[in-house]
Chains A and B, each alone.
Chain A
Amino acid sequence: MPLTAYAPLGDPDPNHRRHRESRRFSDDLPAGDYVFVQDVLGIVHVLRQDQQPGHAHHVVLGRARPAVSAGELILGEGGVILEINNLSGTFQCSPDSLFAAIGGLIRQGATFNNATQIREFPS
Chain B
Amino acid sequence: MTLLTKPDNRVICRIQLTGEGRWVRLALSLGGLAPASRFLIYSEPLLYEMAGVDEMAREYGLSSWQGGVISGARYAFRALKAPLQQVCLHELRGQLGSGDVGAVSSAAALAVARLLARPAEFPLNLEGWTSEEETSHPQPAEGISQSGKMEPSPPEPTQENVENHSRSSGNTDSNEATRNLSD
Contacts and interface: CB of A to CB of B under 8 A. Distances in A.
Interface of A: 8-13, 33, 49-50, 53-58, 72, 87-90, 92, 120-122
Interface residues of B, number: 31
A89 B99 contact: no
Given A12-B56, A57-B71, A89-B74, 10 more contacts: A10-B70, A11-B68, A49-B79, A50-B123, A53-B123, A54-B106, A54-B125, A55-B105, A58-B101, A90-B71
A10 B65 contact: yes
B75 interface: yes
Interface string B46-60: 000000000010000
B67 interface: yes
Given A49-B78, A53-B124, A72-B74, A89 B36 contact: no
B43 interface: no
A122 B75 contact: no
Contacts of B64: 9-12
A82 B66 CA distance: 27
B109 interface: yes
B71 A89 contact: yes
Contact of A9 (B36, B63, B125): B63
